[in-house]
Chain A
Amino acid sequence: MSLKKLRIYNNLISTPRIIITCLSAIIVRYYLMMSKYQSVIANHVEVSTPLNSWKRVSEGLYLLSLNINPYEGDLLHETPLSLYLYKNILQVFQGKIHLAFITLDVTTAVVLYFTTKKFTEDLFVEEEENKATYAKDAEECFLKPDKLFKSSYYVLLTYLFNPYILFSCVGYSTTVFYNLYLSVMLFSMVHGIPVLCGVFLAIAASVSFYPVVLVLPITMYFKYAIKSHTKIIVNLTSFVVTSLLIFVLCSNFGTDFSYIRSVYGCILTIPDLQPNVGLFWYFFTEMFEHFRELFIYAFQINTTILYLIPVSLKFRKHPFLLTVAVNFIITIFKSYPSVGDVGFVLSLMPSFSHLFPFSQQGFLVGTMLVISTSLAPILYYLWIYCNSANANFYFGVTLSFAVAQIFLLTDLLFSQVKRDYMLKYGKDRKIDGEEGILCLE
């Protein structure tokens, strides 16, 4: 297929349609933010964790205005730079904080749209090039341009109307900012802009620490998808330089390091045990004191570097999937996850629509997500307000929420493995003239 024809396919979704989608998303967000449900949503622990709640940001800004160091206390876990950013955004939007959040959220969606658009295009071009090496009867799992190129629009749709993202935006959680950083990072990665990619990776890492490990997948992307060694170096350099710059600015030119304890200390040692959708809170509530350190190390290693190298090696040929998968692992196992993080990863799923035929647990995962999401607030209410349930109920729900995400992740990765096999050996599954089954050995 010629490049021109490809572009025509890729622009199947007209611009007005995108604009209308965005506009309707804005209206939905605005309506919810103006309604009485705004504070209800913002107060939910699934939406606002200690790390991203806007109430804590307001407290930090207020303390700053009184000339009290906001990191003296325990409430604020945002970096000084983020705080400075929020202060300026509030000034730009003249205190109309809801408009700021809507703008940022829709920007993220559009950035993700262009990211997926470029990714699917690259994917298609790559397959066209390699078609000669594929098995003869694998045609039915070839990419179908009409389906494939719609997925970018689906990403936009899932991001804008995903209830997780919607709640996170309406609840003024600062995950909206974090998602924007990640989306710009993905965008510049896919478009091969190493400087921007490094800068936003550094920003994302400075906010939530965990994205540091995305360095490896991004390097893989520049190596295997863009095939440029200079870009790897440029990317790494810009990441390191920006990180240093952020550190210098946050520490007030090396004079005040109090934020490190409040931001990274909190992320890494989990002193605040407020419930959230993750696994850490109850685990470390019920932990025996002398084992606490051991398990903190174990869980943090599990989140960051345990899977990083094997997954990076196995999926080096699919660096975008690798990046999303590593981000997904972070989202599942990070110390203070919120539904905004989950929503971000989920909304990227349509870009892997070509893997869906190979997935096996879609229904199971979908059901688990729906049930656990709807049960979580109910059981929390029963525990905290009615005193008729206890912490175990909510813990059970967060467990199943985590299991659902884990199933989705492993299913996605396994689908990629199966598709690779299919392309290589065809759909024939006969062994010694008998029907065989595929298994990992």
Chain B
Amino acid sequence: MKCLIVSLGILFICHLVHSYEGTITEELLIKPLYSEQVYTHFQFSTKWDIDPDKETFRHSPLFPRPLGEIVQRFDIQELHVTLTSGLWRYEKWGYPVKDAATGVEVLAWFKPGSDVDKNWKLLANSLSGLLCASLNFIDNTNTIKPEFSFRPRGILESNLLNNSYVRYANLPHEIVCTENLTPWKKLLPCDSRTGLASLLNSGHIHNTRYHSIGLHLRPVCRDKSCESMSLELQQTVSLVYDYLILGTKNWSLRKLFGQGINRKCVLVSKSDVYVDTTNQDIELEPPPDETVTSVRGGQVTTLQKYIVSNQFLNIYAKFQNADLVSLNLPPPLHANQYLSGYGQERGGIVTKIYNNHWKQIDVVLMQNIPWFIPIYLHTLKVTADGRDIKPIQLRYIPARQRERPTYLEVLLTVPARTATSVVIDFDYVFLKWQEYPPDANFGFHIGSAVISSYLPVARNYTAVPWDGSLISDSFNASRSGYLVEVRTENLIITLPTPDFSMPYNVICLACTVVALAFGPLHNITTRKLILKSKRKVLLIERIKKFLFSLKKTKTE
């Protein structure tokens, strides 16, 4: 009997797997960074061969049903969510596979004809439940509709490319932790027991310099001919381990993640691990299954490929010459952001864009500045090498108190081999006392600026091209330009605070002053000036008088 149930179960699972049309892949890229860190990037792709426009998501084998429901209910064309802790240091680390700003970033394209504003709010609330993050704080006060900075990564009819269907918000103060990773892992087809996902142990992940988890949902072409669509979900985890925290430069999977890879996930059609050994003198143990050399945009990369099988795999890397320090050329484009000025009255936001390339680069700077930092557009100054640069294009929607943030997009040409600074002045706003958070003097966050550009060279570039889905698609993928979306630091600004302890006193004192005007004015206008005796009649005299008058009446 037992045997029968088991075999029936197996049959059912086989049927499930069989009825699922699409591919599931998982990849891990390990890249020792030039400086003191090692970068690991997991990418779990679930490609489902259905038409996202027609599918009802009632029955969703392997594809996470909660996400399917979100797509269907809120008319989502494309969705990108990242939860990040720590800052990606472009200058030292190059470009990551997926850019993400510190905190939470949500970017969504909606299908034309849907009630975008309503769906956006509902989407934020659903994601908040799905990822256990405070995404419900996303509303009109921190959402913008960028025009230049973001382009759909999936396929889209070009006439629908309109910024009225796109929404972008970031929550820079959101703290990312285990409670976000656990629900994220539940969306994986094999959960976290087998395959590469078994490496994701909270204890080791949150021990990193930088970690970012992401969900990227987009419609893609089903095949080369692109006659029908598929829905693709990419789940990514990026981690940067510090050698100082690891205690040694010689890393291994066990050292990084606490364990090796146990077994291959049965549902996965491709499960690979790539170790980037470009210009690194690393000895890998066990030896790789294959060595891949990729030439991309003039950059040669050597990668060692491991195919995950059902055998236990623990990759151990040993640096041959531990004292050897490889020098790093900074990437062609990176940026910083900081505050200028002192005091709590007037300040400036400075964004420095560094162009290390030998040619000028066109970039788009996008800023989403909260409403409590009103900026003066006429003070916008773009300078490089002491020369003023005129922005090519400018998009600006000013903030409105308690309603919407400032949206600013500047299209400019950054001259070669210089740091271009974009400065804009702002005022510190005085809020109502109940609008301050409990720790009012901690300050308020300003989200990171996004600097997007098509780079002519692929130096330090690892991202997957838009027409590919896998890390392996980025090998030998030379294109005319390489899209980067550089994120800057978040800023913290301390707004001037009132005294929270004395609302009653203030109300009383101000009303007293009003009363000081009301009393005399009331007297002057309603009463008559008369002459009165200066002498005051004492009480005793009055009694005496009264007694005398009594006496008199008696004698009479």
Residues of A within 8 A of B530 (CB): 438-441
Q: In the complex, A313 Cα to B526 Cα: how many Å?
A: 10
Chain B contacts with A in 377-402, Cβ cutoff 8 A: 377-378, 394, 396-401
| Cβ–Cβ contact A73 & B400, under 8 A | yes
Residues of B within 8 A of A310 (CB): 521-522, 525-526
**B244: interface (CB < 8 Å):** no
| Cβ–Cβ contact B510 & A434, under 8 A | no
- Smallest CB–CB gap between A82 and chain B, Å? 17
**A58: interface (CB < 8 Å):** yes
Given A302-B514, A384-B496, the answer on whether A432 and B533 have CB atoms closer than 8 Å is yes
Q: In the complex, A272 Cα to B509 Cα: how many Å?
A: 21
| Cβ–Cβ contact B376 & A75, under 8 A | yes
Inter-chain pairs besides A399-B513, A440-B524, 15 sampled, C-beta below 8 Å: A43-B346, A271-B401, A273-B429, A283-B506, A286-B433, A391-B496, A391-B498, A402-B513, A413-B524, A417-B524, A420-B529, A434-B535, A436-B534, A440-B523, A440-B529
**B5: interface (CB < 8 Å):** no
| Cβ–Cβ contact A385 & B506, under 8 A | no
Q: In the complex, A162 Cα to B510 Cα: how many Å?
A: 27
Residues of B within 8 A of A74 (CB): 371, 374, 398-401
| Cβ–Cβ contact A75 & B521, under 8 A | no
| Cβ–Cβ contact B343 & A384, under 8 A | yes
Residues of B within 8 A of A306 (CB): 518
- Smallest CB–CB gap between A236 and chain B, Å? 24
| Cβ–Cβ contact A279 & B533, under 8 A | no
Q: Which residues of A contact B (CB under 8 A)?
A: 43, 45, 55, 58-59, 61-63, 66, 68, 72-75, 271-275, 279, 281-289, 295, 299, 302, 306-307, 310-311, 313-314, 329, 332-333, 383-385, 390-392, 395, 399, 402-403, 406, 409-410, 413-414, 417-418, 420-421, 425, 429, 431-432, 434-441
| Cβ–Cβ contact B529 & A285, under 8 A | no
Given A43-B345, A310-B522, A436-B531, the answer on whether A287 and B432 have CB atoms closer than 8 Å is yes
- Smallest CB–CB gap between B535 and chain A, Å? 6
Q: In the complex, A179 Cα to B262 Cα: how many Å?
A: 82
| Cβ–Cβ contact A414 & B520, under 8 A | yes
Identify which of B376, B399, B431, B531 gathers the most chain A CB atoms within 10 Å of its CB.
Answer: B531
Which of chain B's residues has its CB closest to A311's CB?
A: B525
Residues of B within 8 A of A438 (CB): 529-532
Residues of A within 8 A of B374 (CB): 73-75
Which of chain A's residues has its CB closest to B509's CB?
A: A399
Listed from nearest, the 3 A-B pairs whose CB atoms lie closest are A73-B398, A62-B378, A310-B525
Residues of B within 8 A of A72 (CB): 397-398, 400
- Smallest CB–CB gap between A304 and chain B, Å? 13
Which of chain B's residues has its CB closest to A69's CB?
A: B398
| Cβ–Cβ contact A391 & B499, under 8 A | yes
Interface SS of chain A: helix, strand, loop or mixed? helix
| Cβ–Cβ contact A385 & B398, under 8 A | no
Residues of A within 8 A of B400 (CB): 72-74
| Cβ–Cβ contact A286 & B344, under 8 A | no
Q: In the complex, A281 Cα to B346 Cα: how many Å?
A: 18
Given A281-B430, A385-B344, A436-B534, the answer on whether A410 and B520 have CB atoms closer than 8 Å is yes
Sample (17) of A-B pairs whose CB atoms are under 8 Å apart = A63-B396, A74-B400, A285-B498, A286-B506, A295-B507, A306-B518, A307-B521, A384-B496, A385-B343, A406-B513, A413-B521, A418-B529, A435-B534, A438-B532, A439-B530, A440-B523, A441-B527
- What is the number of residues of chain B that contact chain A, defined by CB distance less than 8 Å? 56
Q: In the complex, A420 Cα to B343 Cα: how many Å?
A: 53
Given A431-B533, A436-B531, the answer on whether A410 and B521 have CB atoms closer than 8 Å is yes
Q: In the complex, A159 Cα to B514 Cα: how many Å?
A: 27
- Smallest CB–CB gap between B98 and chain A, Å? 34
Residues of B within 8 A of A425 (CB): 531
| Cβ–Cβ contact B376 & A383, under 8 A | no
- Smallest CB–CB gap between A371 and chain B, Å? 16
| Cβ–Cβ contact A436 & B524, under 8 A | no
**B497: interface (CB < 8 Å):** yes
Chain B contacts with A in 348-394, Cβ cutoff 8 A: 371, 374, 376-378, 394
Q: In the complex, A247 Cα to B434 Cα: how many Å?
A: 36
Q: In the complex, A52 Cα to B16 Cα: how many Å?
A: 71
| Cβ–Cβ contact A313 & B528, under 8 A | no
Q: In the complex, A436 Cα to B536 Cα: how many Å?
A: 11
Which residue of the partner chain, among B346, B499, B527, contacts A390 with CB atoms under 8 Å?
B499
Q: In the complex, A155 Cα to B495 Cα: how many Å?
A: 42
Residues of B within 8 A of A311 (CB): 521, 525
**B539: interface (CB < 8 Å):** no
Q: In the complex, A287 Cα to B505 Cα: how many Å?
A: 11
Residues of A within 8 A of B427 (CB): 274
Q: In the complex, A425 Cα to B509 Cα: how many Å?
A: 40
Q: In the complex, A55 Cα to B425 Cα: how many Å?
A: 11
| Cβ–Cβ contact A273 & B432, under 8 A | yes
Residues of A within 8 A of B507 (CB): 283, 286-287, 295
**B517: interface (CB < 8 Å):** yes
Residues of B within 8 A of A55 (CB): 376
| Cβ–Cβ contact A440 & B496, under 8 A | no
Residues of B within 8 A of A399 (CB): 509-510, 513
- Smallest CB–CB gap between A231 and chain B, Å? 26
Residues of A within 8 A of B430 (CB): 272-275, 281, 285
| Cβ–Cβ contact A436 & B532, under 8 A | yes
- Smallest CB–CB gap between A8 and chain B, Å? 36
Residues of B within 8 A of A314 (CB): 524-525
Residues of B within 8 A of A437 (CB): 531-532, 534
Q: In the complex, A406 Cα to B513 Cα: how many Å?
A: 8
Q: In the complex, A403 Cα to B520 Cα: how many Å?
A: 12
Q: In the complex, A284 Cα to B400 Cα: how many Å?
A: 19
- Smallest CB–CB gap between B474 and chain A, Å? 40
Given A274-B430, A286-B506, the answer on whether A410 and B524 have CB atoms closer than 8 Å is yes
